[in-house]
Amino acid sequence: MRRIAAVAAMATLLVTAVGVAPAQAQGSGDRDRGFRQVGYFTQWGIYGRAFPVKKLDTSGAAARLTHLNYAFGNVSPDGRCYVDGAAPEGDPWADYQRPVPAEESVDGVADTWGEPLNGNFGQLQKLKVKHPDLKVLISLGGWSWSTHFSDAALTDASRKALVASCIDLYLKGNLPNPDGSAGGPGTLHGVFDGIDLDWEWPGAPGDVDTVYRPEDKQNFTALVAEFRRQLDAYGRTEKKHFELSAFLPANPANIDAGYEVPKVMRNLDFATVQGYDFHGTWEATANQQSALRIPAGAPGPTFSIETTIAAWRDRGAPRDKLVVGIPYYGRGWAGVTGGRNGLFGTSTGGAAPATFEAGSEDYKVLKTKVGTDGYRVYRDLRAGTAWLYNGNTFWTYDDPVVVLQKALWIRTQGLGGAMVWSLDGDDDNATLTKTLHLGLWTP
């Protein structure tokens, strides 16, 4: 009980600190301590969520991150990295064609039509000028764009072609230039510092049209090795180390179906591990989606960060390469009755209404529900989870107290750091990102 009280007390102090101590920003000394603080920036966040690259700077988030993953790059049916303007296969307008107005620009200077690099990529270039230690990686795939990974990884020749195309597009920076304006040879050079592989999932079902086959397991190993080989070869010409990471699943069945763990980890700089979506509205029971430990009384098969990390460690993953995923969004059920203040209750209303997607809501919105419409925050500090409940609607989410608890656990376990999906879910003060940073690096 004393330990739980200490966590709660420290959370209060640190959460207060993030609001009043912007000078606590991460410096190069912090980056040398070994932890990684990785955040995903979504290409589409500039639209409805009104989250341009500039907010990473003005909120203080960029100063706390070691790595920024840009989501996502696509793999074409013929097994190449590509940028295609045909929705929903890509958005080059957002990526590098859109002239960003002065009020959304990192340096306050508006883009003009016809510059070689506009859009998000141009803003990332400006962000790196202000934050030169920040590593920016292009994340390939994601749930919707893992469709053609299995085909692209199928043979030695196809793997070589995929990797070469990704390096040519994102690292050498040879963007398409179909209309003679933005893009062209070398225009993206120097913006990306590596590649993140987000194949969901080798050897197991993913999105409805995603191809998978049993041999994905060995082919993923070979694909990672090919990325490492070509990245190192290109890095020698640039006198630079290009980083390689991968996003990994929580489900042990997916681990065993798709990953030769020691072989894969040998060629990765680090791996981000799914620490969320343990449960959701595809189930009728209102349950935790991102608990640190399995709560007492949890019904049926369940997951937690602790059991997920143990599964990877048991299969040979080095602890200092495992980066724990943390959600900046919650999962919600409507019509929930019973359970422990809603937890493990039964939902008769399905997915709770939300801003963009029923059953999923950003932290910045969920925090405003506290104390309104009958919502109260409930906690299980031993399990490391929190939820909102008003007698009808249940939201499982990570608030600053939970984020801090996870950061401290990462430290005690000697893990590689933390990753968040996604940065646009935080509030304008980057409260969760600052709390995570303080938990990871405060002595």
| Integer Cα distance of 424 and 422 in angstroms | 6
Bridge partners of residue 247, in order along the sequence: 272
> CB within 8 A of 223, min separation 6: which ones?
152, 153, 159, 162, 163, 197
> Which three-class secondary structure string do you get for 404-443?
HHHHHHHHHHCCCEEEEECHHHCCCCCHHHHHHHHHHHCC
Structure tokens at 110: 């508006």
| Integer Cα distance of 289 and 97 in angstroms | 37
Catalytic amino acids?
200
> CB within 8 A of 358, min separation 6: which ones?
281, 350, 351, 352
| Integer Cα distance of 275 and 258 in angstroms | 18
Tokens 């879910």 -> residue: 425
| Integer Cα distance of 121 and 98 in angstroms | 10
| Integer Cα distance of 203 and 197 in angstroms | 15
| Integer Cα distance of 350 and 285 in angstroms | 10
Q: Do the Cβ atoms of 107 and 53 come closer than 8 Å? A: no
- The distance in angstroms from the start CA to the end CA of the chain is 23
Please give the C-alpha separations between residue 334 and each of 52, 300, 342, 378, 398, in angstroms, as whole numbers: 32, 21, 10, 17, 19
Q: Do the Cβ atoms of 166 and 188 come closer than 8 Å? A: no
Whether residue 72 has a cis bond before it, omega within 30° of 0: yes
Whether residue 181 has a cis bond before it, omega within 30° of 0: no
| Integer Cα distance of 138 and 117 in angstroms | 16
Helix (H) or strand (E) holding 122: helix 119-130
Strand 336-337 versus strand 346-347 pairing type: antiparallel
| Integer Cα distance of 177 and 236 in angstroms | 28
